[in-house]
Amino acid sequence: MTKDNNITTARELADKLGLSVETIWKYTRENKIPYIQLGNRQYRYNLDEVVSSLDNSSVKEKKGKYKANGGKKFTYQDYLKLPEEPGYQLEILEGVLVKEPSPTVIHQRVSRRLQRILEDYFLETDPDGEIFYAPLDVTFDDINVVQPDILYISGEQKEIIKEKRIDGSPFLAVEIISPYSVRKDRVRKMNIYQKSGVQHYWIVDPEEKTFECFALRDNSYAIIVSGMEEDIINHPDFKGLNIKLKTLWKSNRQ
């Protein structure tokens, strides 16, 4: 890789590709992407060369369908009138209808295991709280209707639990990335959750085996703890919660 003026850091590269910094480090260690080594654990990257090297890899996101509403923004009332489409998930992000295929097996496996861990934890620490999972609508306002893969409503938030939806901001929202949702989960939904005051937002990537925990600090998300592969997540804001990542990734045959 030749040096030029078009080089970037690992964090900048992660932002541009819609990936976690942990994933960039993983690809660097495994020599899956070209890099310049400036010193001990100091690396720089050329975006064009990195994209070229990953051109045929799973890092590239498959595209979901984004639909306009005749120049108008979709609203929750429009959403309620949509016919059900088996095999697809529908959300409204800032007035844009997003249609994506239903989750994969690995996605559901990780979601189920994490859900059990959280249910056991919050049963002890907040017995009046509840864990829910998709498909369940969460409405922040009339033009934002989302379906987090897992969400936690604390015992102090019971008023936002309605008969058919959650109308307000969960204390915790978890998104498990699929090939269709990388940029949606890392950019579009993160911005919506941040703006809506979701205190904790976790992003889990089963393919890359990464787990990132964000929390609101001064009205902006800051990464609090992250891990990959066989790390253990010890979240400082959830005392006693220990998530062994290897238990999330393993197949049923292991």
What residue segments make up the domains of the chain, in order of their start? Answer: 7-53, 103-249
Per-residue pLDDT band for 62 (boundaries 50, 70, 90) equals low
Quick one: pLDDT at residue 85? Answer: 83
State which amino acid sits at residue 162: K
State which amino acid sits at residue 167: D
Average pLDDT over all residues of the chain: 87
Rounded CA separation 216/146 (Å): 19
203: exposed, middle or buried (C-beta count within 10 Å: 0-12, 13-18, 19+)? Answer: buried
DSSP secondary structure letter of residue 214: E
Whether 56 shows a pLDDT value over 50: the answer reads: no
Whether 60 shows a pLDDT value over 70: the answer reads: no
Report the candidate in 191, 175, 27 with the shortest Cα–Cα distance to residue 103.
175
Rounded CA separation 248/251 (Å): 9
Per-residue pLDDT band for 3 (boundaries 50, 70, 90) equals very low
Quick one: pLDDT at residue 68? Answer: 53
Per-residue pLDDT tens digits for 179-220: 778 878 888 999 999 999 999 999 999 988 999 999 999 989
Q: What is the dihedral of CA 118, 123, 128, 134, to 10 degrees?
A: 30
Q: Which residue has the higher pLDDT, 102 or 93?
A: 93
Contact 28, 17 (CB under 8 A): no
Per-residue pLDDT band for 103 (boundaries 50, 70, 90) equals confident
Whether 139 shows a pLDDT value over 80: the answer reads: yes
Homologous superfamily of the 103-249 domain (CATH)? tt1808, chain A (3.90.1570.10)
The most confident of 1-15, 30-44, 173-187, by mean pLDDT? 173-187
Question: What is the average pLDDT across 215-231?
Answer: 91
- The whole-model pTM stands at 0.76
